[in-house]
Structure formats: C-alpha cells, structure tokens
C-alpha cells in the first residue's frame, strides 16, 4: 500500500508537471496579445490547443482522481488540504467536458482573439460574428454540463466569482445604477464644469512610460519579477509569482489612458506578486476571484490614483515627465479635469462614476445571450440602445461599440460583473483600511509601503486559500455592501461639482 507521504510526493510532482504546461500556455497567450506576427497566429493557436488539451487531460485523469481520493481529508497540512479541494473542484467541472470539445474551444479562443483584432480595426462586427456565435454556443453547452440551480448564467459566474449568482447581481446592480444615474443627473445640472480639454496636448509615449514606471515603483511593483509592455487592450498576466507581467496602451494625445491604465494593471500585479511563497507551485497561487482581483486594481487606480492628496504630492513629479504645457495648468484645474464626469463610449476610458454603468450594459447583454433571449447578430443595435438608455450616448460604429472589449473574443462569459463587484469590494476595503492607516499621510509621503503591506496581510497572501466572499467578510466584518461605493462617489463628486 502506498503511504500518505509517498502519495503526497507523487502528487506534488504531478502538479509540477501541470504547472509547466500552464506556464507555457500563459507565455504563449502573452505573446499572442503583444508580439506575435499576424501570420503566426494560426499555428500558435494550434500549439495552445495541444498544450491546453494535455493540461485538461491531466486535470481530469484517473491518476488525478486517485491522488484526490488518497489525500482528501488525510492530512493536517492546510495548504495541501486546500490544494486537493481546488483540484477536486477543477476535476469535477472539467471532467464533464469531452476532451475534443475542450480542445476545439481553446483553439477557437485563440483564433477568435485574432479575428476580433481585425474586426475591431475595420469596425466590422460581421467579421467577428460567426466566431462569437460559436463561443456563445460553447458557453451554453459547458454551463449545462456543469449544472446550475436557478439561472444558466450562474454556472459561468461561478468560474469568476464563486458564491455570487444572478439573484445577487439583480438585487445589487439596480440599486447602484439608480444611485449613479441620480448622481450623474445632478452633475450634469451643475454649473461647475471642469475643463478636460486642458489635458489634450501631445505627450510623447516615452514621458508617459517613465512617469508610469515611477508610480509602479512607489506602489511596490517588483520589476525583477515582471515587465511592462504595449498592447491594444491592457492586461496583467501571471506565469508564476516571480513572473507577473503587465501591459498598457499609450495615446499621445491623452495620457490618462496609459497612466491610469498602468496603475490599474499594477494593482492586479501586486496581488499576484505578494501571494505567499508557501502556495507556490500549487493551484492556490492565484487570485481568489476576478472580483477580488478587480478590487485591487480599482483601489490603486481610483482610491489612490485619482485621489486629490495623490495629485497634491505627485503633480510636480508628473510635470517632470510631461510637456511644458502643464506648467501653465494649476493643480486645482488639473485635479478637476482628471476627475471630470462625462459619459464616454469606451469602457477603459470611462470616469470612475459612470464606469459601473458600462459593466451593467455588458452584464445584461451576455446574460440574455446565455439565456437565449437574444441572438449574437442583434448585439450591435442592442448595445447601442443600452448605451443610450444608461449613459445618454450612442456609438457611431462597432469599434467604439460592441467590438471594444476582448473578453467575449476570449470566450470569457460571466467575467464582466466582476468589474462592478470589484469596485464595490474596493470601496469596502478602502473604508476598513482607514481604521488602520492614515491614508492621507501615507499617500502624501509618496511611499505606499504601508498600504501594500495592509493589502498583502489581509488579502494578497491568501491566494485561493479563501473564497472571495469569505475575504470580504473577514476583512470588513460584513458581506457585500454597495453603500460604501455610493457614499464614496457621492462625497467626492459633491465636492468637485458643488451640488
């Protein structure tokens, strides 16, 4: 009979082999989104399909099941216990998907992202439509394989935010939407109008990059364990806790895209870089959910990066890298301008007040798609209608409308709600952090170590050892509560717009 220690040793070697495949796939995905020549996409997609199929087989093999059976509840090692449970969850979920269907889906994902890029450049939804139709069909099929209790969309939500359901979202989102549209109405009626046109000047990419790197360093991003690259759609990606990469997008006529986008992705990266080393090499060495992940990126981007105290102490540093144009702009006018509320067509360019409304548009559309209430061909005009209803603006083409995000091209249905949930979590964490840290003093100092250490102690270190809602309750003492976000936005924009 094989001993527990021998099973454990063999299990760890098995996980090591799986991690090798996972890291290779991740590196290819980074390359596909940043550096790959156009003609290399198809062959590279087949490589991803092969490696992902191999990983899928290992995750769902009889050998994996034998390890789970032998080690489940047979050890006092908490990390090993959680690792086995994580593998069991993956085993039970992925075992339900036939091998060939999984491989076909992964190859479709890679090809779809490439086609999406072309469709976006040409502003032609028709090019992308047949790929998206297949992706939607796969997601419906997988959701039925996995099973659900009330709404088929719940099966997809579970992949990104375990414990959250359509019922939860449909209770919380309307409340937040009503509050935000009410605030937006007051802002639009105010006689105080920040002038964001003062920000529109040519700002060379190199200067933007150097300033962004300065801020990343102050945040504590470890460049010896990561790097910064360019891409169409910014993202953070983790090969392992010692190789966490971020990307950004530069617009030389609007620095906000790169500066705030890089801070945002830096927040994601800090989460991954500060997961406890004791979880390295296990499937627990990752963020616990996309909502918690977004709480970290949105905390750094909005609660710190758009904070008045931040610009009080960093505007001079900014001007060191910025064009001379900014020497003639006062700190007050600059702060007001970077916090202007103005409904925009592009989600990643949205101000922090209207941002959640962008998420609700996407959530409602993809929920309807998965529930077979609408068809893919109808997305462009339905998207435009919802943008008009929620934000009072309407896209003039597919590029600034339905084709702007990469998520659906990657088959990531159930992902979008995590952005709004993350914003709510971030507001709760921010409120709690103030009990332990004098935030203004720390931000003013330009040394954000205490903030990063608080986040690491309470959130980062645990990786997937804790579920998302458990983290929220352990840190804040209560469950998801959108009131903190509404209060934060109300107070901030009442001061800016004087209503």
Q: What is the CATH number of the domain that holds 303?
A: 1.10.1370.30
Is 339 inside a domain boundary?
A: yes
27-41, 263-277, 452-466: segment of lowest average pLDDT: 27-41
Average pLDDT over residues 157-167: 94
Query: Annotated catalytic residue: which of 59, 113, 161, 265?
Result: 265
476, pLDDT greater than 70: yes
Q: What residues make up the domain containing 180? A: 166-497
> Do 82 and 225 share a domain, yes or no?
no
> Do 113 and 229 share a domain, yes or no?
no
Is 378 inside a domain boundary?
A: yes
41, pLDDT greater than 90: no
Count Cβ atoms below 10 Å from residue 22 Cβ, excluding itself. 20
Distance (Å, whole) CA 290 – CA 29: 18
> Do 134 and 198 share a domain, yes or no?
no
> Do 108 and 184 share a domain, yes or no?
no
DSSP state of 76: -
474, pLDDT greater than 80: yes
Final residue belonging to a domain, choices 120, 147, 174: 147
DSSP state of 147: -
Is 154 inside a domain boundary?
A: no
Distance (Å, whole) CA 128 – CA 86: 35
- 58: tokens are 């290992």
> Do 377 and 441 share a domain, yes or no?
yes
Return the pLDDT at 1. Answer: 54
Distance (Å, whole) CA 414 – CA 100: 23
Count Cβ atoms below 10 Å from residue 227 Cβ, excluding itself. 12
> Do 138 and 242 share a domain, yes or no?
no
The answer to whether residue 23 is catalytic is no
> Do 117 and 43 share a domain, yes or no?
yes
Q: How many domains does the chain have?
A: 2
> Do 296 and 408 share a domain, yes or no?
yes
Is 161 inside a domain boundary?
A: no
pLDDT in tens, 255-282: 999 999 999 999 999 999 999 999 999 9
Distance (Å, whole) CA 129 – CA 137: 12
Is 371 inside a domain boundary?
A: yes
Q: In 3-state terms, what secondary structure has residue 382? A: helix
In this structure, are residues 326 and 215 in contact, taking their beta carbons and an 8 Å threshold?
no
> Do 359 and 485 share a domain, yes or no?
yes
Bridge pairing between strands 236-240 and 228-230: unpaired
Helix axes 152-160, 417-436, angle to 10 degrees: 40
Average pLDDT, the chain: 95
Average pLDDT over residues 161-188: 95
Distance (Å, whole) CA 244 – CA 225: 6
Is 387 inside a domain boundary?
A: yes
Report the candidate in 337, 333, 331 with the shortest Cα–Cα distance to residue 310.
Answer: 331
Burial label, 85 (beta-carbon count in 10 A; 0-12, 13-18, 19+): middle
- 167: tokens are 């019922």
Is 156 inside a domain boundary?
A: no
Helix axes 331-338, 308-321, angle to 10 degrees: 110
Q: How confident is the model at residue 233 (pLDDT cuts 50, 70, 90)?
A: confident
> Do 443 and 486 share a domain, yes or no?
yes
- Find how far residue 159's CA is from the centre of its chain: 13
pTM, rounded to two decimals = 0.92
Burial label, 65 (beta-carbon count in 10 A; 0-12, 13-18, 19+): middle
Report the candidate in 254, 257, 185, 201 with the shortest Cα–Cα distance to residue 404.
Answer: 257
Is 160 inside a domain boundary?
A: no
> Do 189 and 88 share a domain, yes or no?
no
> Do 109 and 179 share a domain, yes or no?
no
């Amino acid at each position: 009979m094989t001993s527990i220690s021998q099973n454990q040793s063999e299990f760890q070697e098995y996980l090591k082999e799986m991690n090798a495949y996972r890291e290779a796939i991740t590196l290819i995905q980074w390359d596909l989104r940043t550096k790959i020549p156009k003609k290399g996409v198809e062959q590279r997609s087949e490589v991803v399909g092969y490696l992902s199929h191999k990983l899928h087989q290992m995750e769902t093999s009889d050998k994996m099941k034998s390890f789970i059976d032998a080690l489940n509840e047979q050890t006092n090692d908490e990390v090993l216990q959680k690792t086995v449970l994580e593998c069991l969850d993956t085993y039970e979920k992925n075992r339900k998907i036939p091998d060939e269907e999984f491989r076909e889906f992964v190859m479709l994902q890679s090809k779809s992202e490439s086609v999406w890029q072309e469709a976006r450049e040409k502003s032609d939804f028709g090019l992308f439509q047949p790929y998206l139709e297949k992706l939607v069909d796969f997601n419906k099929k997988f959701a039925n394989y996995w099973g659900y209790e009330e709404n088929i969309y719940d099966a997809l939500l579970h992949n990104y935010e375990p414990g959250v359901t359509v019922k939860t979202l449909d209770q919380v989102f309307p409340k937040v939407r009503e509050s935000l549209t009410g605030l937006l109405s007051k802002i639009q009626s105010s006689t105080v109008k920040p002038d964001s046109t003062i920000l529109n000047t040519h700002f060379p990419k190199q200067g933007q990059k150097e300033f962004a790197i300065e801020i990343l360093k102050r945040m504590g991003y470890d460049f010896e364990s990561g790097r910064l690259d360019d891409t169409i759609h910014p993202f953070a990606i983790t090969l392992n806790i010692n190789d966490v990469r971020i990307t950004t997008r530069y617009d030389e006529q609007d620095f906000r895209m790169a500066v705030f986008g890089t801070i945002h992705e830096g927040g994601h990266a800090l989460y991954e870089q500060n997961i406890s080393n004791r979880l390295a090499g296990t499937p627990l060495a990752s963020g616990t959910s996309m909502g918690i992940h977004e709480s970290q990126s949105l905390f750094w981007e909005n609660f710190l990066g758009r904070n008045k105290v931040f610009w009080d102490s960093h505007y001079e540093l900014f001007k060191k890298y910025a064009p001379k144009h900014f020497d003639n702009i006062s700190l007050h006018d600059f702060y007001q301008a970077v916090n202007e509320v103005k409904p925009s067509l592009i989600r990643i360019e949205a101000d922090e007040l209207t941002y959640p409304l962008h998420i609700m548009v996407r959530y409602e559309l993809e929920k309807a798609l998965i529930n077979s209430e609408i068809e893919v061909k109808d997305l462009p005009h339905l998207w435009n209608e919802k943008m008009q209803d929620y934000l009072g603006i309407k896209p003039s083409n597919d590029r600034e409308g339905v084709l702007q995000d990469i998520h659906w091209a990657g088959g990531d249905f159930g992902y979008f709600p995590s952005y709004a949930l993350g914003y709510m979590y971030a507001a709760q964490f921010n409120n709690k952090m103030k009990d332990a840290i004098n935030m203004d003093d720390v931000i003013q100092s330009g040394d954000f170590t205490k903030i990063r250490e608080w986040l690491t102690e309470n959130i980062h270190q645990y990786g997937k050892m804790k579920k998302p809602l458990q983290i929220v309750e352990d840190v804040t003492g209560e469950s998801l509560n959108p009131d903190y976000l509404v209060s934060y936005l109300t107070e901030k924009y009442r001061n800016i717009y004087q209503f």
